[in-house]
Amino acid sequence: MNATSFRGEPRRRGPAWDIAVVGGGMVGAAAALALARAGFATALLEAREPSPWSVEQEVDLRVVGLAPSSIALLDGLGVWKAIRDARSGPYAHMHVWDAESGASIHFDAADEGRDLLGYIVENNLVQWRLWNALEAAGVKRLCPAEVKAFDAQDDRIQLELADGQSLAARLLVAADGAGSPLRKLAGIETRGRDYAQRAVVAHVRTERPHQGTAWQRFLPDGPLALLPLADGRSSIVWSLPEEEARRVLALDDDAFMAELGVASDFHLGRIVGTTPRAAFPLKLQLATTYQAERFVLLGDAAHAVHPLAGQGVNLGLRDVAELRDTLVAARDAGRDIAAPHVLRRYARNRRSADTLDALGFDALARIYAWRSPPLVAARGLGVRLIDRLSPLKRRLAGHAAGL
């Protein structure tokens, strides 16, 4: 089949593009920008135009805590300062405590020799800033564009789009989210488990200030996080069993705020204001491989994790950095960037790192679900020990920072 030429398609021998990235969420948009900046002819295909972000709008209900490794990547791509200055909630402390045993652990940026542990930012803001940097970096944005099929050949991978057009690249990068249609088309399976929980999210105003601290209380039903927003409010991520989540979503604002106050143990005082609420299903899902012929997975398409450690997009942005570095090394050594051994290096490195993290977060979710008194006592002892063992605590903090 002859590929229809898109306006702006590079004229050269072989496939028109070095890399086609599918999915323009935070991870796919960062990948396209990083790969274009590294000198690869890159096209980005996204099914839905991202909604514009503006400071006049209410804060997006979906926020993430960006770790230093993610901030370093975004800074290297030239978008971080614009994101930070637009609207971001810096935090220098993290306080985690167990409702049952009362044991707590406290992380302080100063103990790590840093000013901050990270920033809370809106998903929509990060995506929008990345999206707007793409064209100047030479990325061809195709939107709306949906990939219906692809076929790996000797020197290229041929993509067929829903509107009948087609496109050829050396490598297809799938960053199309946890439901990844491309992962399914590639025949890659996933392993994991459904937590049978939903994360209820909202932005709330509390009686006392958040003190630039990310708070997390582990309750028997699931963790409740209160993350510091730039405007003084806290963004909550309240993981609850499906039915509880449905009930909490249906409460009126006053009843919701009263229940949330109890769940947070009134740590920041009473809850005195709330936005409408939304909820997201939670699952652990790991692709059995991140690689197929001329094809790699990254971001949530490769791994979906419990939000209790606030690491999902941070892992995805570490995939981006590893993929870029692997492809640059292959190109500089005169190799085919999509040769199986090149992709294997990326796939192995990231899959083993992501698996360790994902299983670690899953173990935490299981340990905090323990209810029997001896196990709760053992958990409390373990948490108190970690809090006092500075070298171990420092390693944990360094790992979360991606350093």
Ligand X SMILES: Cc1cc2nc3c(=O)[nH]c(=O)nc-3n(C[C@H](O)[C@H](O)[C@H](O)COP(=O)(O)OP(=O)(O)OC[C@H]3O[C@@H](n4cnc5c(N)ncnc54)[C@H](O)[C@@H]3O)c2cc1C
Q: Which residues bind ligand X (CB under 6 A)?
A: 22-28, 45-48, 64-65, 123, 146-147, 175-177, 181, 199, 201, 237, 280, 299-300, 307, 310-314, 316
Least distance between ligand X and beta carbon 121 (Å): 9
Query: Among residues 228 and 299, whose Cβ is nearest to ligand X?
Result: 299
Which has the closest alpha carbon to 60: 310, 230, 298?
A: 230
Q: Which residues contact 237 (CB under 8 A, 6 or more apart)?
A: 199, 200, 201, 223, 224, 225, 227, 307
Alpha carbon distance 308, 123 (integer Å): 17
Query: Among residues 15 and 28, whose Cβ is nearest to ligand X?
Result: 28
Least distance between ligand X and beta carbon 22 (Å): 5
Least distance between ligand X and beta carbon 234 (Å): 13
Query: Among residues 169 and 330, whose Cβ is nearest to ligand X?
Result: 169
Is residue 157 within 8 Å of residue 172, measured between CB atoms? yes
Query: Among residues 238 and 376, whose Cβ is nearest to ligand X?
Result: 238
Q: Closest CB to ligand X belongs to which residue?
A: 25
Least distance between ligand X and beta carbon 286 (Å): 13
Query: Among residues 92 and 376, whose Cβ is nearest to ligand X?
Result: 92
Query: CA angle, corner 365, sides to 362 and 368, nearest 5?
Result: 145
Least distance between ligand X and beta carbon 176 (Å): 4
Other CB atoms within 10 Å distance of the CB of residue 204:
23
Q: How far is CA 221 from CA 119, 199, 242, 251, in A?
A: 27, 11, 10, 18
Query: Among residues 285 and 326, whose Cβ is nearest to ligand X?
Result: 285
Least distance between ligand X and beta carbon 374 (Å): 32
Query: Among residues 176 and 379, whose Cβ is nearest to ligand X?
Result: 176
Least distance between ligand X and beta carbon 325 (Å): 19
Alpha carbon distance 257, 273 (integer Å): 7
